[in-house]
Amino acid sequence: MVQENGVPVGMKHHPAEFKADAVALYRSRPGATIKSVAADLGVNTETLRNWIRSADGRRPGSHSTQPAASQASGGDVQAELAAARKRIRELEEALSELARRLESPRLLEDPPPYRQNAVLRGPRHLPIACDGIRP
């Protein structure tokens, strides 16, 4: 790769103020994508993405979680954890009830109810006389 003044040709140096303004512009447009804002500014999509990560205090190229400022507070996390634990208990109780019902010997002895045949008025698998004629 050809370099000029220690910088690869084709790479541009943008002042810190321009980078900060680009990040602010992206954040001020709720429906905008990084791609659309980068195209408006004439910079590479990944360049703008790295600037946003740097502004969030993350390493460029990292795929970490949200920045600390936008993470939920401790109380919210505790409430969410308590709700999740409650739901887990409910599901465990439902599972144990289902297992209990499946292990019941009564369910193994009694077959499911048969569907009645409307014409013959009996279970389909039983031969029934119709109009005095035996099957």
Tens of pLDDT along the chain (135 residues) come to 455 555 555 667 888 899 999 999 998 988 889 999 999 999 999 999 999 998 888 766 556 555 454 555 677 888 899 999 999 999 999 898 888 878 876 655 555 555 555 455 555 555 555 555 555
Amino acid at 107: L
In sequence order, which residues have a C-beta less than 8 Å from that of residue 56 and are 6 or more positions away? 67
How much is the pTM?
0.40
DSSP-derived 3-state class of residue 4: strand
Output DSSP code: residue 31. T
